[in-house]
Amino acid sequence: MIPGDGIGPEVTQAVVRILDATGVKFEWERYAAGAEAFELHGEYIPAALYESITRNRVALKGPVTTPIGGGFKSINVALRKKFDLYANFRPIRNLPGLETKWPGVNLIVVRENTEGEYVGLEHEVVPGVVESIKVVSEKGSTRIARFAFEYARKHGRRKIHSIHKANIMKLSDGLFLRCARQVAEEFPDIAYGEHIIDNTCMQLVMNPYQYDVLLLENLYGDIVSDLCAGLVGGLGLAPGANLGAECAIFEAVHGSAPDIAGKDLANPTSLLLSAILMLRHLDEEAAAEKAEKALETVYAERKALTRDVGGAAGTSQFADAVLAAMGSLP
Ligand code: NAI
């Protein structure tokens, strides 16, 4: 467990209470990461945290602040790289009781998680000129495409769109597309299409129903998943999983939200939905369903929703309502 900073400790505390009420017995190993870990241990990612994830092969993570325009490198990116968590999986779905412009949205964002601009290769060529290198490999592109197609086949999804800018980034995005097309040939049961990223953003806000599974490189996936979170009610609602061959880290799509941190205002739904993905990953289907049903009841009844979705409840009050819906509030 990495509680994170900003709203991280508040949302993780709420989620741990709910997870404990599912009946699954958790033993949490808790670690700080980022600025807090540096103050405590002189390291941004303590060696003991790496060791814990290597041993347990699964982690639940709150958001961690990354300084903007300087300072230490992103902890999130470092963890994804270290454990080769190449698939970032973000399901986007409406919750009951929430009015949004588009009801019934149900799509999956699959984002390549280890390459692209996020390899962090930036340097100053001469004062006033910097270069930032984007890395796209055949291996990385093929395995994320295969992940998307295998997921689609297993879960009855019918259509995958590769999202790209290969009209401008002819070599890098061109390679990404070539790999996706090759994998698509192995899956004739799943329709395959390609859209340019800028058009995709417009299409998503005009008619999100045309998409089923979106397959994107790292940076495009980062941006489009926030856009998609907005379609279903905001960043407080969108869960995520970082999946690799060896281990998995489950975390919300949103960041540390410094503007509302420490005020008991954060919506823990996104992290709770991520934790529900984690339960399913651990084959704890009954526990996942119990938590999910309770969450949906709270939304359907609209009694204890947080402010970001039009309610007036605090983080802990919302968690109480989910626990009550599970029949677990003392
Ligand atoms: P943010 O996601 O923290 O906040 C954007 C807006 O959404 C804010 O108005 C915030 O109040 C609201 N919001 C986010 N989560 C919410 C929740 N659970 N409930 C209610 N409202 C919520 O994005 P921002 O401000 O761009 O980033 C802040 C910090 O978080 C940065 O240092 C960034 O690097 C870091 N970050 C960390 C991530 C991670 O740990 N996986 C992911 C994204 C950003």
Tell me: the pLDDT tens digits for 137-177?
Answer: 999 999 999 999 999 999 999 999 999 999 999 999 999 99
69: confidence class by pLDDT, cuts 50, 70, 90: confident
- Dihedral over alpha carbons 160, 201, 140, 284 (to 10 degrees): -60
How far, in Å, CA of 11 to CA of 4, rounded?
10
pLDDT for 320 beyond 70: yes
Pocket test residue of 254, 260, 317, 318 for ligand 1, highest count of atoms within 8 A of CB: 254
**Nearest CA owner, ligand 1 atom 27:** 255
Ligand 1 centre to CA of 299 (Å) is 22
pLDDT of residue 330: 61
Ligand 1 centre to CA of 135 (Å) is 26
pLDDT of residue 175: 98
Pocket test residue of 235, 309, 316 for ligand 1, highest count of atoms within 8 A of CB: 235
- In order of their start, the domains of the chain are 1-87+238-330 (3.40.718.10), 101-231 (3.40.718.10)
Pocket (CB within 6 angstroms of ligand 1): 7, 11, 63-66, 76, 235-236, 251, 254-260, 266-267, 270, 308
Kind and range of the H or E run holding 241: strand 239-243
Taking the CA atoms of 10, 16, 18 and 21 in sequence, report the sign of the dihedral they define: negative
pLDDT of residue 36: 87
Q: What is the mean pLDDT of the chain?
A: 95
Tell me: the pLDDT tens digits for 271-282?
Answer: 999 999 999 999
Tell me: the pLDDT tens digits for 18-55?
Answer: 999 999 999 999 999 988 889 888 999 999 999 999 99
Give the pairing of strands 248-252 and 58-61: parallel
How far, in Å, CA of 96 to CA of 81, rounded?
36
12: confidence class by pLDDT, cuts 50, 70, 90: very high
Pocket test residue of 7, 64, 256 for ligand 1, highest count of atoms within 8 A of CB: 256
- C-beta of residue 235 within 8 angstroms of C-beta of residue 253: yes
Tell me: the pLDDT tens digits for 253-277?
Answer: 899 999 999 999 999 999 999 999 9
How far, in Å, CA of 184 to CA of 210, rounded?
19
**Nearest CA owner, ligand 1 atom 4:** 257
Mention every residue, 6+ apart, whose C-beta is less than 8 A from residue 44: 33, 34, 35, 37, 38, 72, 75, 78
Residues involved in catalysis: 118, 165, 198, 222
pLDDT for 325 beyond 90: yes
pTM: 0.95
How far, in Å, CA of 16 to CA of 319, rounded?
10
Cβ density class 167-198: b for 16+ within 10 Å, e for less: eebeebbebbbebbeebbeebeebebebbebe
- Dihedral over alpha carbons 256, 259, 261, 262 (to 10 degrees): 170
pLDDT for 303 beyond 70: yes
